[in-house]
Amino acid sequence: MEQLAKINQQIDLSEAMKTLGALDERQLKGLMKMLKTKRKKGKSDLPPIDGDFYDLDLKLTEEQRKLQMDVRNFMEDEVRPLVNDHWNRAEFPFEIIEKFKKLNITGVPYEGYGCPNLPFLMEGIIAQEIARVDVSISTFFGVHSGLAMGSIYLCGSEEQKQEWLPEMQKLEKIGAFGLTEPNVGSGVAGGLETTCKLDGENWILNGQKKWIGNATFADVIVIWARDEDSNQVKGFLVRKENPGFKAEKMKDKMALRIVQNALITLENCKIPESDRLQKANSFKDTAKVLRMTRAGVAWQAVGCARGAYESALKYTRKREQFGRPIASYQLIQDHLVEMLSNLTAMQTLVFRLSEMQDAGLLSDEHASLAKVFCSMRTRDVVSRAREVMGGNGILLEYDVARFVADAEAIYSYEGTKEINSLIVGRAITGHSAFVS
């Protein structure tokens, strides 16, 4: 009764009882939970850790948002617990492939052959969600679903599509994409050293490919080679059992250690005409594939940056120095805001990029600008994430060290910063600065 008397001195008790009587069961439980919660002096509820500061997710439909959250929950529950161990050992977690099948996220933008036929925007969202936890797993998907399946989808005959795409969509068959060579990276448009020559009804391939993701275990590798007779670039579906094909795992990488990159050697590798990509007759056809997938790499960069930012923010709110969380210090907040600014700019850019792709407005320079900007800004974000975590920033257990290393790979593949800058420069000036 004394307690009721004290309360009555501060509020109108009869009015409070009327208000309580009007609450439903859910509201009453919520109120009791709030009343029972003990807060430390000077502490308040912290805002959620969410890298989508401008709420771009609200632009997604309910179905799209559900798919995004299905991928996020899968990555958090099934992949995050094992990636640091596999990254450290440079091994691929093959056990997750069976689990990934249930998500049905392979070949997202393609029509037919069992593919979901969703907007390119969703392909980007999925790439971001996977890279937010691990860039290596996102690269595995980008190579298989984007580069390998995309090559067959854009350049293959109907027979080739029917043979490969349904099984690749279900992850029953895995694909790889062989373009880069030991001596040829940026100059692939006119300088491929891997050659092909027609011999009766077969093509003979000779040469090497380097940095080819998935190639140590892929069932089919799309190999691009220069025709000795026409000097044009052609594409081939090389099966892992083809005589004259050898894939050796590359070791001692500092980035994307889960990705199984290979050095491929083709020595008088005989490929039947039926396994030549029938609609790939020059590098312009190869470029169509790269244009389509380059947007996905920009989304990967966003995912990498988001993962680093959210990990760093979480860390700074828990880590205390001088009796306070380090997130309460001005210098730390300045770093966090710089990271969020970069991340938000990247997110809005790639979102618009995918909208243009879905509208059929995407050009090489649009994809290249996104790749240039996002790969550079990601470098800055992961660097600041490592900065605010101090010495712990170089430990795998806090994830940021992995993002720092993997950002270096994003910066280089699918066209370097310099090459993509020249593509944009040519578009805005009308002058080509490429060496001819």
Asked if pLDDT for residue 41 goes beyond 70, the answer is: no
Q: How far apart are CA 253 and CA 260, in angstroms?
A: 10
What average pLDDT does range 18-36 have in this prediction? 72
Find the farthest-apart pair of alpha carbons in the chain and give their distance in angstroms, rounded. 103
289 and 154 Cβ atoms separated by less than 8 Å = yes
Q: Which of 205, 200, 235, 207 is nearest to 221 (CA)?
A: 235
Whether the predicted model's global pTM rises above the 0.75 cut: yes
Kindly list the distances between the CA atom of residue 334 and the CA atoms of 181, 298, 381, in Å, as whole numbers in the listed order.
42, 25, 12
CATH 1.20.140.10 location in the chain:
284-429
CATH 2.40.110.10 location in the chain:
176-281
- Under CATH, which number does the domain 284-429 receive? 1.20.140.10
94 and 100 Cβ atoms separated by less than 8 Å = no
Strands (DSSP E) contained in 201-329 are: 202-213, 220-227, 233-239, 245-249, 261-272, 320-321, 324-325
**CATH superfamily, domain at 176-281:** Butyryl-CoA Dehydrogenase, subunit A, domain 2 (2.40.110.10)
DSSP state of 276: B
Q: How far apart are CA 149 and CA 366, in angstroms?
A: 22
Q: How far apart are CA 317 and CA 184, in angstroms?
A: 46
Q: Which of 158, 162, 157, 192 is nearest to 178 (CA)?
A: 192
Question: Would you state the pLDDT for residue 45?
Answer: 81
CA dihedral 352, 358, 359, 365 (to 10 degrees): 60
Confidence of residue 436 (pLDDT cuts 50, 70, 90): low
pLDDT digits 0-9 by tens, 114-159: 999 999 999 999 999 999 999 999 999 999 999 999 999 999 999 9
Q: How far apart are CA 122 and CA 116, in angstroms?
A: 10
Question: Would you state the pLDDT for residue 42?
Answer: 47
Confidence of residue 325 (pLDDT cuts 50, 70, 90): very high
What average pLDDT does range 70-86 have in this prediction? 96
Q: How far apart are CA 309 and CA 28, in angstroms?
A: 37
Query: CATH classification of 56-173, choosing from 3.30.565.10, 3.20.20.70, 1.10.540.10, 1.20.1250.20?
Result: 1.10.540.10
What average pLDDT does range 162-189 have in this prediction? 89
What average pLDDT does range 269-295 have in this prediction? 91
Q: How far apart are CA 275 and CA 288, in angstroms?
A: 20
CATH 1.10.540.10 location in the chain:
56-173
Average pLDDT of the chain? Answer: 91
Q: Tokens 């161990």 appear where?
A: 85
Question: Would you state the pLDDT for residue 11?
Answer: 73
Q: Which residue has the higher pLDDT, 24 or 208?
A: 208
Angle at 257 between CA 411 and CA 263, to 5 degrees: 85
Q: Tokens 């420069």 appear where?
A: 425
Q: How far apart are CA 301 and CA 367, in angstroms?
A: 13
